[in-house]
Structure 1
């Protein structure tokens, strides 16, 4: 296997800038990384893994997610089968408090430190906020686990309420680059998403802000998204790969090539050397078992175990066993006083 001089130069620059100095790559540099040939991919993955170990440590954070309200969302995110505007097989379902507590217990039993309550809404109404408050109280009584939420766009009052209830992390994804966003969502703007992200950070909650790649964006737009996320400086970035869902406008989009997915993992790690980079939806489809292993050795340092919101994931035991095989310790729950 021969790596060309130009590819060597790209990786050597990244090594000096990101690994040695801890400075993330800029947008134009990320385009170069995303354009690396297959022959250079093993070296790129190795560099991203070194960056992860140096700047994040060896621990892997494990999280489970559950949907308190599924389906019937009024927004038109073209990738999402939970939109009520599309002819999708997903139908509206609410979980009650005992079901949420049971899910939290099952999540904690895997060794996970994070349990995220998710709702398919534009933003929460009073009913949903009350349901979340009661769920948080009950879970705290019975389960020792961090609680996160993903409830769409928030008002300042709602941000303050969630922070006051002890939600330590809030998820609100950018999903794609600003320049590509209007082709994916038309019922709200990029700026509205950014506004919620800013309020969450200002309130002292950790911000989880993710990406969904493989929707037809260009490599340049993929690099643009990584740079925009780096500028936002979230605590965590879930990296999703499109799983085309029946009934959505993107149902016929081709599944992302596995090597392109691995190049994206490298690029996002080199853009954000200190950020928690989490395997999320679609990795099973884009990467398979072998690619999942390569990503964990290429910059990923967190995983969602079990199923996702509307799609099946790998069994939790498969991921946990893989972490043991790779000698990667699971991050322990951090006690807060």
Structure 2
């Protein structure tokens, strides 16, 4: 059998074809001495099929905490009574100010997030009012992450002008029941299918390091590739106090590098966005290395319930690395 990186050069790099499951498993098992070569190839694939621009995004939680679902990684679940996160809801003015700050930080996309199983009419009314108010003052694309949707809710969000809808599959289908019991992987997948059919862009990724095997990481990358999301957020578990995964070990830097490369080889043209946990798993120098190892987007500033790096630091980093930032093009 030919070497896995040579096969990737001949297929994924040359044609843009997704690397299949067996090849992803090989990548995830590469020895440390091949990490530099692997990362360089992942960067080549990114440049060839996703371009050289870096996309910056800001996120804001419209409704934080008090969620009735039992996602084991999430400190926003109201079922985990030891979690320090409590329910908070922002008003429209606060969302507008957050969007302004995101645009100031170079963001082309602003994502409105709510910790819910799915939105009710009151929440959708708030989102609609926020979008209208933001667009009166800020030139930025709006995305949303509001949980599991009905067909009618999908159509309403599309009519509001939501450009991209986020609903993470979170992990491999085979591992999902170990992480969540109050809803299914299939329900999440159905929401994303309806979003795609309505003409909105699909944003779906997940969290690495929730006790899944390397084979399940390859399975997850394959399932995302089949979904063909425009964007795939990559989180690395930052164990949260009071959650069932509070004592889970942190993903090592080598594991993270292999996983980023594997996801790039699985999805050559997708926006792979750094999300939560990169500071803990990779640190500053590891983040820079990963932007030359397959990643092509970041969230600037803080996340939903954890702190990120100051947005100014990320922008300085991109400038120092001479990585061009994608300009705003309202969809």
Task: Give the TM bin, normalised by the shorter chain.
Answer: over 0.9
Give the counterpart of 1:23 among 12, 17, 27.
17
The separation in 2 between residues aligned to 1:167 and 1:62, in whole angstroms, is 17
- 1:318 shift after superposition: 1.2
1:36 aligns with 2:18: no
Which segments of structure 1 move beyond 3 Å, counting only runs of 4 or more? Answer: none
The separation in 1 between residues aligned to 2:140 and 2:329, in whole angstroms, is 9
Give the counterpart of 1:216 among 201, 211, 224.
211
Match of 1:271 in 2: 266
Give the counterpart of 2:133 among 138, 141, 156.
138
- 1:334 shift after superposition: 1.1
1:203 aligns with 2:198: yes
Give the counterpart of 2:39 among 29, 38, 45.
45
- 1:335 shift after superposition: 3.5
Instruction: Render the CA deviation track for 1:78-107: whole Å, top value 9, x for unaligned.
Output: 000000000200000000010000000000
Give the counterpart of 1:91 among 82, 86, 92.
86
Match of 1:65 in 2: 59
Please list, as runs of the form range in 1=range in 2, the aligned pairs for 1:175-186 lying within 5 A after superposition.
Answer: 175-186=170-181
The separation in 2 between residues aligned to 1:312 and 1:68, in whole angstroms, is 17
Task: Count residues with an aligned counterpart.
Answer: 330
Instruction: Render the CA deviation track for 1:51-71: whole Å, top value 9, x for unaligned.
Output: 001111110000000000000
Instruction: Render the CA deviation track for 1:296-336: whole Å, top value 9, x for unaligned.
Output: 00010010000000000011111111111111100001144
Q: Is the 8 A contact 2:141 2:330 kept in 1?
A: no
TM-score of the superposed pair, with normalisation by structure 1: 0.97
TM-score of the superposed pair, with normalisation by structure 2: 0.99
Q: Is the 8 A contact 2:234 2:273 kept in 1?
A: yes
Match of 1:256 in 2: 251
Which runs of 5 or more residues in structure 2 are unaligned? Answer: none
Q: Is the 8 A contact 2:207 2:237 kept in 1?
A: yes
Q: Is the 8 A contact 2:140 2:330 kept in 1?
A: no
Aligned-partner SS, 1:132: helix
Match of 1:81 in 2: 75
RMSD (Å) for aligned C-alpha atoms: 0.8
Aligned-partner SS, 2:3: helix
Please list, as runs of the form range in 1=range in 2, the aligned pairs for 1:81-160 lying within 5 A after superposition.
Answer: 81-86=75-80, 87-160=82-155
Which runs of 5 or more residues in structure 1 are unaligned? Answer: 1-5
